[in-house]
Amino acid sequence: MATLPLCLAIGAYDHVRNVCDGAGQVTGIDLTVLQLPVEEMFHRFLVHEEFDASEVSFAKIVALAAQDDRRFVPLPIFPSRVFRHSSIYVRSDSGIAYPGELAGKRIGVPEWAQTAAVYSRGLLAHEHGVDLASIEWVQAGVNEAGRREKVALELPQGFRLEVIAECSLSDMLLAGDLDAILSARPPGPFERGDPRIRRLFPNYRDVEIAYARKTGIFPIMHVVAVRREVYERDRWLAMSLFKAFDEARRRSLERAASMTVSHFPLPWVADALQFARELFGDDPWPYGIEANRTTLDAFLHYAFEQGVCRKRVAAETLFPLELQQTFKI
């Protein structure tokens, strides 16, 4: 049978390994895989549409969908998931000890529509009662000046967002011009061990576990999306990609569960997987809609109320109908 050539850009995750190395069959597709840095991959796909399919920011895809920009078709495949209590940074001398004390402060974000920032603002508002409109928001690059928003925004009435092109968030935090930073990428001085910057939640893992138990949310950062013209020409490829990624994910979990050999260069990997299963159930990293309903609904709500989305987006309208019907996901 003839195969369809397809160029895919994706991160170098173990749970996509068997899609990338050919060990897992992608039915009907002759796959060329590019493994690239995240920022480069997102820019080349969303701005220049260089690849047929790519890993991409969940917030950017949702924002585009809300603007009726139909160039991309997201699939319910989630290669990156990260809790974001660890992504809130403050000055060590700020006196800020609790999330509620961020109300009325001046806080920096690298992009308003950064997925990590959407989750961080969501947990501040919904778990800690912080009025997001009370905050003076600043947008700039985390460690380098000049970063710009990638999608058009429509912030809710009363929200203030200042764009600063000439300084980085790290420099402004150290200078006292900011009280906090919400960012997936840590401030450079923090990574270098500068004691002037600390996490708001020093015990973030304990806080994130408690949050997961309370809310059922396991934050989705990235999705896999296909260019619409590629999808419309050969709709079956959505199913083929979903099955291949799901199988690769299953094999990765099997490797993690092994107590016989070390598939990962870390101790106690199997124990960590067992703990994740106790927290999330037998499948701690599911794909599809229904298995991720709580997280998807929460994120789509946050994105709308924060002005990342101009209108409400439902998970059922975001992902291809044929995947929902066949997998009942």
What three-state secondary structure class fits 198?
strand
- Evaluate if residue 328 carries a pLDDT over 60: no
The distance in angstroms from the start CA to the end CA of the chain is 29
- Burial of 318 from C-beta contacts in 10 A (0-12 / 13-18 / 19+): buried
What three-state secondary structure class fits 148?
coil
- Evaluate if residue 255 carries a pLDDT over 90: yes
**CA pair distance 232, 67, nearest whole angstrom:** 20
- Give me the chain's average pLDDT, please: 94
pLDDT tens sequence across 145-201: 989 888 888 899 999 999 999 999 999 999 999 999 999 999 999 999 999 999 999
- Evaluate if residue 1 carries a pLDDT over 60: no
What pLDDT shows up at residue 154? 87
Q: How far is CA 276 from CA 104, 197, 272, in A?
A: 36, 30, 6
**CA pair distance 85, 120, nearest whole angstrom:** 7
- Evaluate if residue 274 carries a pLDDT over 70: yes
What pLDDT shows up at residue 142? 96
pLDDT tens sequence across 283-326: 999 999 999 999 999 999 999 999 999 999 999 999 998 877 54
CB 221 within 8 A of CB 83: no
Average pLDDT over residues 46-67: 96
pLDDT tens sequence across 72-97: 999 999 999 999 999 999 999 999 99
**CA pair distance 253, 242, nearest whole angstrom:** 17
pTM of the model: 0.94
Give the H or E element holding residue 72.
strand 72-81
Q: CA torsion angle for 235, 239, 240, 245 (degrees, to 10)? A: 140
Eight-state DSSP code of residue 108: E
